[in-house]
Every structure is written in C-alpha cells, then in structure tokens.
Amino acid sequence: MLSVSGVSINLGARSLLSNVSFVVNRGACVAVIGRNGSGKSTLMRAISGEIRPDEGSISLAHGTRVGYLPQQIHASPDAAVGGTVRAGRPDLYESWKSLQAAAQLLSSAPTDTSDVYETALARYESQGGYETEVEIEQAMRSVDLPFSFLDTPFAQLSGGMQTRVGIASMLFSNADLLLMDEPTNHLDLESLEWLEGFLRGFAGGVLLITHDRMLLNRSVDDLVYLDDATQKSITHRGTYDSFEERLKSERRNQLSEYRDQQAEIRKVEADIRRTKQQAQRTESATSNDYIRGRAKKVARKAKSREKSLERYVTSDERVDRPGSHWELKIDFPEVARGGNKVAQLEDVTFGYGSTEMFGDLNTEITFGERIVILGPNGIGKTTLLKLLVGEVTPIAGTITTGAGVIPGYLRQDVLEIEPKMTPVGLIRQASGYSDAEARTYLHYFLFEGDAALTPVSLMSFGERKRLDLATMIVRGVNLLLLDEPMNHMDIEAREKIELALDRFPGTIVAVTHDREFARRFGTRFWVLQSDREKVRLESIVDPEAVRHLAETPGQ
C-alpha cells in the first residue's frame, strides 16, 4: 500500500532523516519508533503530503485512500462530533455546512431563501447526501461511539474519545491506509485496550507513532526505528521486546568487533614503531652505504604501512565504537527514613460544590511502597494526589501524614521552573553540589553533555519533567507523588526513568496510563471505580489481577 524509498529530509543545514526505507502492506500495522527529535512526526507529515522530502520517494498503491490523525485534532471550538466526523470528506462536509446554513435562513425567511435552500440541497444530494448518514453511523459504531454522540460538542470529550472521533472521521473518508501520530496520548486504560483491538482488526494498513510498549508488543507487525545518531532507519519484524533484544545483541557484537579491531590497530602501530626505530638505529650505527640503503628502504615500507593504516582508520571498513549505552549506577542522596506509616486515609469523602466525588476511602501508604493509581479519565486520580499532598482537603474523614514525611508533587502539565536556569544551575542551587557532582547526578536523568547547560526555555516538555523530578529528589523528598510521569517521553527515556525511580530510596505514588511501567513498577495498585454516584478505591497487590495490565490480550 505504501512504499517509502531512500527518503532524506533536512532541517536547514542539518540532516534529520537519511535514506529511510520501508513498506506498509495491506493488513499490516507498522510502528515508527525512536527518540524524541529523531524525525518521526516529520516523516509522518511527509507521508501525508504536508511536506516534501529532500531526496527519495513516497509512493502509494493505485487507489489507496489515506487518512491522517495528527497528535492534535484541529476542530473549531464550537464543532460537534458529527461535523468532525463529516470533515473526513471535505467536499461533502462543505455542502453539508452550506445546507445547514440555508436551512437556518429558510426557517427565518421562508419566501426569500427557498431558492438558496433548494440549490444547497441539490448539491448535497448529488454528492451522496443523506445516504452517507448510514456510513457515518457505521464509522461511529466501528470506534464504539453511539450515533447519539453526533450533536455532542467535540471539545467536551475526553482525549480518548476525541481520538476515537478522529479515527471515525478517517473511516468515514473511506481511508484504507491510516497514518496515526501518537494516538495513545492521554488515553485511559480502557481506551488503550480498545485501540489495540481496533488495530488488530483493521483490514487496511496502519502506520503509527507510539511510545506505548505494551501496544507495540500486542498489536504491531513491524517496527521502523529512526536512529537519531545516524539519521537512518532500522526495520524489524516482530515485537518491541524482540527488537530491544536484537539491539542489545548487535551492540554486544559491535563492541566485540570494535575491541578486536582496536587490538589489531595497536598491534600494527607497535610493529610500525619498532620497524621505524630499528631502521633508524641501523642507519645511524653504520657508514656502509648498502646497509644504510636497506635501512632507508625498510623505513619507507614502515611509512607506507603507516599511511595504509591511517586510510583504514578513516574508511567505511572501520568498526565504530557503539554509542555510549546509558548504565544506571545511581547513588541518590539519602532521604529521611521517618516512620513506617507514610499516610493514612480514614473515611475520606471529597467533592466539588454539591457534587460528591469520593466516598469513604480507607487505605494507607507504608514506607518504600510503589503505589500505582489506575482508573478511567475523569474519575479523580489527580484529585487523589492533591488530597495526599494537601492542595485540597476532604469534606469528611481524615488524611494523616506520618512523622518526617517530605512530599514532592510532579504535576501532569504545569511545571514552574525558572526559564533562564540550566539543569546544572538548578541542581547546584537545590543541593550544594559542585559542577562535576551536578553533571554526574543529571546523567541519571538523561542530561548529558551540552544538555546539562541548556536553558529551561529551550527544553521540550518531557525534558522539563525530567528536570523537575531530578530537582525534587536531590532536595531530599521521601514521598514522590507523580502525575503521569511518562507523558511526553520516548521509550528509551521511559525505561531509564523507570530504572531511576526504582532506585529511589523513598516512597512513590504514581498516576499513569503507561501499562508497561505500571506492570513492572507497581507493588500495589489503587484502582478507582465508579459505584453508583461515588468513586470507590480497591487496593490490589498482584499486577496480574489488574485486567488492563495482563501481559497478553484477552487475559
């Protein structure tokens, strides 16, 4: 359906993508992965036709219809779900809007505007008109949305529902190749599970960008990895886990070859040095012209070997040293141990105004626990964190904090960091570390080289979240309250921050929709569920007992 061949894209003088090639066949789901900034969204825009590559070709099979779901669905503030779905067929959508406007005019001035209405109606019907309402209903049913949602304001929907509407719009456009840029952003667990099933059942082709490791393991056939170091692509048939093992194996082999090569280079260099020194000593120790001539000939051969070695070292035959693989050897600052009981919730009830959200919550947090809060969007996960940190207070019941507890709260989307500060400056200010100590510490949070000296104002949101987390920990907090800590991070960053948090010596309570992080990290789960008009909390210890965290679909 789609063939990408030798595509290169430049940003000014900088090469972003170089010689990227892959195919998407009918019935296949292909994921583009790589670090943030590696060019994933740029490649998707090129495939959708928004921009043109500098080199290479992007070709579609004859008759292929493409639907594109960007990270942000652009809809007018007053747009309804129906209008957003209909926008999948722009010409028909414009006719439909003209008909709606003509109908309003007709209702206010029946005599003067009847011709306008008849013209608009004729145009709409000539394009399929009311017959397409059945197709809209089918598209809505395909994404598990009721037809009654058509008049619902799009802006009122959750992020997961908005994504479903965007997919419905693509289906209504009769697209058989779907391009989806991070469709998992802001999806709750139920929506993620729905998306997995949709991808597995879609008969056309899918090319998507995602950082969701569980989805990559469950629903994707092929991976296209964009390597930001080489700007090239690596294609892989299989799951993300198998790809990760492949990369590790290739790094090990490359490192072994590199070491063998370096040993051989050192051996040749030593031989050349010995030969040159011996020739020089021989020439200096005799006045015999024949022997001196032979010594000079040996020296010239050594010089020729030296030049050959120089050419080899700079040639394509040379094996490069593998890129520095981030190893975690964290020595976090000591935290105050405090008591074993970090917090106790007793009969906690909370609500906004006359609306009661939580009712009779009873649970506790003990030192060193890793608690993951799960539940659908809008059920109150963030509010529960705010209750724990004291930003809001319950209308009934009590929350008791243990002695010596020092909380740190990482918000989901609101970060207050001085824009002119650098990571090194912030860590030194918070800890009293030297420059070298601050750089070493920041390495654990993926700030290496020039990144440690980059002003906050020039950072991505994901980088700011990592910096905010690093600053909290170095200040000595012993209770971390994290609201979607993995949002805006690529897979490699997620895995490394996951390791860093695992080494944190205190207690962690986290809200997340990253199922792989939840499954690996959580020692206990607070599952929020609606019970009639209130939200109840169920505490679960076994991650396999949480349906959405099962390792394979259908468990």
Side-by-side strand order, sheet with 55-60:
14-24, 2-11, 55-60
Other Cβ atoms closer than 10 A to 157:
18
Residue whose C-alpha is closest to residue 92's, from 135, 140, 137, 127: 127
What's residue 241's pLDDT? 92
What's residue 331's pLDDT? 56
pLDDT 10s digit of each residue in the chain, 555 long? 999 999 999 988 889 999 999 999 999 999 999 988 889 999 999 999 999 999 999 999 999 999 998 887 777 767 889 888 988 888 888 888 888 888 888 777 766 667 788 888 888 888 887 788 888 888 888 888 888 888 899 888 877 788 889 888 988 998 999 999 988 877 888 888 888 988 998 999 999 999 999 999 999 999 999 998 889 999 999 999 999 899 888 888 887 888 888 888 888 888 888 888 888 888 888 887 888 888 888 888 888 888 887 777 777 667 776 655 444 445 566 667 667 899 999 999 888 776 778 878 899 999 999 999 998 887 889 999 999 999 999 988 999 999 889 999 998 776 677 888 999 999 999 988 999 989 988 988 888 888 899 998 888 777 888 899 889 888 889 999 999 888 878 888 888 888 888 888 899 999 998 888 888 889 999 998 887 777 888 888 877 777 677 554 433
What is the separation of C-alpha 102 from the centre of its chain, rounded to a whole number of angstroms?
45
Distances from the Cα of 490 to the Cα of 399, 444, 448, 547, angstroms: 36, 16, 16, 25
Separation of first and last alpha carbons in the chain: 33
Q: Give the span between the Cα atoms of 344 and 364, in whole angstroms.
A: 4
Give the residue ranges of DSSP H helices in 475-513: 491-503
**Pair of tokens at residue 440:** 């070493």
Whether 528 and 535 have beta carbons less than 8 Å apart is answered as: yes
Per-residue pLDDT of 480-504, as tens digits, reads 999 988 887 888 888 888 888 888 8
Residues 6 or more apart in contact with residue 46 via CB below 8 angstroms:
7, 9, 52, 53, 58
What's residue 108's pLDDT? 75
Q: Give the span between the Cα atoms of 460 and 415, in whole angstroms.
A: 12
Which residues pair with residue 17 across a beta bridge?
9
For 510, the 3-state DSSP assignment is: strand
User: Which run of H or of E encompasses 350?
Assistant: strand 341-352
Q: Give the span between the Cα atoms of 466 and 258, in whole angstroms.
A: 33
Other Cβ atoms closer than 10 A to 337:
12
